């Protein structure tokens, strides 16, 4: 049977590179995109496998629920989409947008799809998770907002979530695996969408001087999603110096991502903020 993958943010950057790599392997990819027109334009560039375009706005949890309800079967979910370096903006539910899109939407989507997944969940974090701090007194960044720290917090939340999900799957005896991945430093359109200023200039300069291509940046995600030897709870990143680029290998998360008490606290907050509980999907 042809494996079915759900890839968020599949129409551009790392998401499109991941989608192309999967369809080149003969997979069927459900391309989860915010804009249908852009999604279909990306789909037209694929030359192998099969795909379909479905719309989801990760900045709106109602849209996430509608999208999830339309998925009948999937083997692998790849939580790839993200936003970066934005001015202080709120999601449809009133949450800081980087935390809402990068973490909360994927927490909700995973929980809503978990009973239909057969193989694994891959959540894409970042090396910048090592600089992140979960401010449980102000997860919504209502005080002293800065785009960089807010992004780092969301990427740390990805890592904490992915590891805690594996703990819960293991405890429940589930065969589904939770795997983390990060692209190193890959040049995509994400950096160019950051708030104008020195932060964006630094990102764009990095893109030109040291960044890997989107295709190379997607290699750890594709490996995490397809390699049969990948174990739940592993973190896959580039194997080169500083984990910036190179062939995929197992890397270590930041110590702050591995603390079970922190994970329990984030999980509870995420369930409250999204209204999505995993109890029935993991245990039932």
Q: Which two tokens stand for residue 90?
A: 């709120």
Torsion sign across C-alpha atoms 28, 120, 85, 237: negative
The span from the CA of 37 to the CA of 163, in Å, is 35
For 107, how many CA atoms within 13 A lie in the half-sphere containing its CB?
A: 29
The span from the CA of 185 to the CA of 53, in Å, is 27
Q: What angle do CA 269, 110, 211 make, to 5 degrees?
A: 95
Q: What angle do CA 205, 79, 271 make, to 5 degrees?
A: 120
Torsion sign across C-alpha atoms 72, 164, 17, 230: negative
The pair phi, psi for residue 166, each rounded to 5°, is -65, -40
CA 259 to each of CA 27, 90, 200, 237, 250: distance values in angstroms, whole numbers, following the listed order? 36, 29, 32, 20, 19
Q: Looking at 5, 151, 185, 278, which residue is catalytic?
A: 151
The residue among 164, 180, 178, 159 whose CA lies nearest residue 256 is 159
Starting at the edge strand that comes first in sequence, how are the strands of the sheet with 74-79 ordered? 50-55, 28-33, 4-8, 74-79, 117-124, 177-181, 235-238, 248-251
Catalytic residue flag (residue 5) = no
Residues tagged active-site: 151
């Amino acid at each position: 049977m042809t494996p079915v993958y759900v890839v968020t943010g599949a129409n551009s950057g790392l998401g499109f590179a991941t989608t192309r790599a999967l369809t080149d392997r003969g997979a069927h990819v459900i391309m989860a995109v915010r804009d249908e027109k852009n999604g279909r334009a990306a789909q037209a560039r694929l030359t192998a496998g099969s795909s379909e375009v479905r719309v989801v706005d990760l900045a709106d949890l109602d849209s996430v629920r509608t999208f999830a309800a339309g998925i009948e079967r999937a083997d692998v979910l790849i939580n790839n989409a993200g936003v970066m370096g934005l001015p202080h903006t709120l999601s449809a539910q009133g949450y800081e947008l980087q935390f809402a899109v990068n973490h909360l939407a994927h927490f909700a989507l995973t929980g809503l799809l978990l009973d239909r997944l057969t193989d694994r969940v891959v959540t894409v974090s970042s090396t910048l998770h090592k600089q992140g701090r979960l401010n449980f007194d102000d997860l919504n960044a209502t005080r002293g907002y800065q785009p960089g720290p807010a992004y780092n917090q969301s990427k740390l939340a990805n890592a904490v979530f992915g590891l805690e999900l594996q703990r819960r799957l293991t405890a429940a005896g589930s065969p589904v695996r939770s795997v983390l991945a990060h692209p190193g430093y890959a040049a995509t359109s994400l950096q160019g969408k950051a708030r104008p200023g020195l932060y964006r200039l630094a990102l764009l300069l990095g893109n030109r001087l040291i960044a890997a291509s989107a295709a190379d940046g997607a290699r750890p995600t594709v490996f995490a999603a397809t390699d049969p030897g990948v174990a739940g709870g592993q973190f896959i990143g580039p194997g080169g110096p500083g984990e910036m680029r190179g062939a995929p290998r197992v890397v270590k998360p930041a110590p702050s991502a591995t603390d079970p008490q922190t994970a329990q606290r984030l999980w509870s907050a995420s369930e409250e903020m999204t209204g999505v509980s995993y109890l029935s999907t993991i245990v039932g």
